């Protein structure tokens, strides 16, 4: 059984780019030859993205490998597969790592127990709304959105792991 996903490296210093490629290659077991382009939202930084096919759980492995460079901004997605939820990870240097499960259409899935805990801990509507925003990754979306928009039209590299 396999699934698909995408690695978006929104910004990386040029000296780190080969290390990012090696990390992705090592995790996927196939050569990652990314097409690096300038990142207009961060002059002097580069961006790249690649699509991958591998077994479920690979997104988490990619994130573990990429976290070795805390100065890069990245996102990793994994599509749901039979019996396995999808995932979305976002990393921003000032915020750290955020992770959520995703549905078949890409929506963030918030579990019943998470909502119950929020409702029990929130004293007012505003604190509840803030906690929901954090569950949905609003801070990470706000931090990464300028880098996402700056990458519109960038080339995509497809990576497949065989076996």
Report how far residue 58's alpha carbon sits from residue 29's, in angstroms, rounded to the nearest whole number. Answer: 11
Q: How many other C-beta atoms lie within 10 A of the C-beta of residue 30?
A: 17
Residue pLDDT tens, the chain, 163 long: 899 999 999 999 999 999 999 999 999 999 988 999 999 999 999 999 999 999 999 999 999 999 999 999 999 999 999 989 999 999 999 999 999 999 888 899 999 998 888 888 877 778 888 888 999 999 999 999 999 986 555 555 555 554 4
Report how far residue 61's alpha carbon sits from residue 110's, in angstroms, rounded to the nearest whole number. Answer: 22
Report how far residue 56's alpha carbon sits from residue 163's, in angstroms, rounded to the nearest whole number. Answer: 13
- Sequence-distant (6+) residues with CB within 8 A of 103 are 80, 85, 86, 109
Q: What is the DSSP letter of 107?
A: P
- pLDDT of the residue at 92: 98
Evaluate whether 23 touches 12 at the Cβ level (below 8 Å): no
- pLDDT of the residue at 80: 93
Rounded to two decimals, the pTM is: 0.87
- pLDDT of the residue at 157: 52
Which pairs with CB-CB distance under 8 Å and at least 24 residues apart come from 56-60?
Answer: 56/1, 56/2, 56/3, 56/81, 56/84, 57/84, 58/3, 58/5, 58/27, 58/28, 58/161, 59/5, 59/87, 59/89, 60/87, 60/89
- pLDDT of the residue at 104: 86
- pLDDT of the residue at 162: 47
């Amino acid at each position: 059984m396999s699934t698909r996903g995408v690695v978006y490296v929104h910004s990386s210093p040029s000296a780190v780019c080969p290390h990012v490629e090696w990390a992705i290659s090592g995790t996927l077991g196939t050569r990652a030859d990314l097409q690096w382009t300038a990142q207009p939202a961060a002059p002097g930084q580069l961006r790249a993205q690649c699509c991958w096919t591998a077994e479920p759980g690979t997104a988490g492995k990619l994130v573990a490998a990429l976290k070795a460079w805390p100065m890069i901004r990245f996102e990793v997605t994994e599509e749901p597969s039979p019996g396995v939820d999808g995932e979305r990870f976002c990393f921003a240097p000032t915020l750290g790592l955020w992770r959520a499960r995703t549905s078949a259409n890409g929506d963030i899935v918030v579990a019943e127990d998470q909502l119950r805990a929020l409702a029990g801990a929130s004293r007012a509507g505003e604190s509840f709304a803030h906690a929901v925003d954090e569950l949905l990754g609003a801070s990470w979306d706000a931090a990464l959105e300028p880098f996402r928009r700056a990458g519109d039209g960038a080339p995509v590299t497809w990576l497949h792991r065989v076996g």
